[in-house]
Amino acid sequence: MTQARTVQQLFDLKGQVALVTGGSRGLGLQMAHALGEAGARIMLSSRKAADLEAAAAELQAAGIDARWIAANCADEADTRRLADETLERMGGVDILVNNAGAAWGAPAEDHPVEAWDKVMNLNVRGYFILSQQLAKKHMIGKRAGRIINVASIAGLGGNPPEMSTVAYNTSKGAVINFTRALAAEWGKYNITVNAICPGFFPSKMTASTLDTLGEDFLKRSAPLRRIGDDEDLKGLTLLYASAAGKHITGQWLAVDGGVSVVTGG
């Protein structure tokens, strides 16, 4: 009988490649750190080369093998290019983190249709196209892969009265069911697909919400009386990406200090 691996062996990502979209800052960069610290080689992607260069340098300073490709995952041709160039430069992709995202604040009755399309194209369509390309060109043939979709607790319910983000919330709800549908279909290829639903973390995207609602209010809203920090996604990311999570697929987990417990998400 094969000897069971140790915990350290199960979480070891040496020899694996991870592509992280929206990886130049915030949650994406935190997740890239987690995967790189566990031994994976990292390919970062976002739209701005200068941001990517700085993020890759930060990872490299931590001893992580990191490279970058500038791409707009709301654009189909650019997303296909990202998949092809990553496979060519890295020799494959074992772990895909779909994290690139956009938000738009406006009352539903006044929400611009073009803004709705912008959010949906990046937050949902982009996830699908990149997952499809990497699965078709690498993961299915290899019969192995890990896909991690970044959703949000905003996808678990409606908007709080203080927020008007109907497109964003709708897109993140779609990401959760996209995760479940893809996991059911691609399980036969040994590809796991799971989602993370972060709560409030300081980031460029959440800056206006933090200003509007106030950090103290958000802390009081969470049973743990805190918002997320720069290490709170690391553990779950590594679980989903590693052999430690090989029997987990089609699942989502909120990392939100307990906010969704209170709101019923």
Question: What total number of domains does the chain contain?
Answer: 1
> What is the predicted pLDDT for the residue at 202?
80
List beta partners, residue 165: 106
Percent of residues, the chain, with pLDDT higher than 70? 92
Confidence grade of residue 2 (pLDDT, cut at 50, 70, 90): confident
Number of helical H runs and strand E runs in the chain = 12, 7
Query: 69: domain CATH number?
Result: 3.40.50.720
Kindly state whether residue 264 falls inside one of the protein's structural domains. Answer: no
Kindly state whether residue 2 falls inside one of the protein's structural domains. Answer: no
Pull the structure tokens for residue 227: 């918002």
Q: Which of 127, 168, 189, 240 is catalytic?
A: 168
Rounded to an integer, the average pLDDT of 102-110 is 93
Alpha-carbon separation of residue 31 from 53, 98, 138, 237 (angstroms): 17, 11, 22, 6
pLDDT tens-digit profile of 157-206?
876 666 789 999 999 999 999 999 999 999 999 999 999 999 989 866 66
Pull the structure tokens for residue 94: 């074992």
pTM confidence score: 0.94
Dihedral over Cα of 100, 28, 133, 180: its sign: negative
Closest by CA position to 245, among listed 117, 94, 79: 94
- The residue segments making up the domain with residue 77 are 13-257
* pLDDT above 90 (res 214): no
Chain centre distance of CA 51: 18
Confidence grade of residue 220 (pLDDT, cut at 50, 70, 90): confident
Catalytic annotation on 240? no
Kindly state whether residue 6 falls inside one of the protein's structural domains. Answer: no
Q: What is the mean pLDDT of the chain?
A: 93
> What is the predicted pLDDT for the residue at 185?
98
Q: Cβ atoms within 10 A of the Cβ of 260, count?
A: 18
pLDDT tens-digit profile of 30-53?
999 999 999 999 999 999 999 999
- The rounded distance, in Å, linking the Cα atoms of 104 and 256 is 21
Confidence grade of residue 1 (pLDDT, cut at 50, 70, 90): low
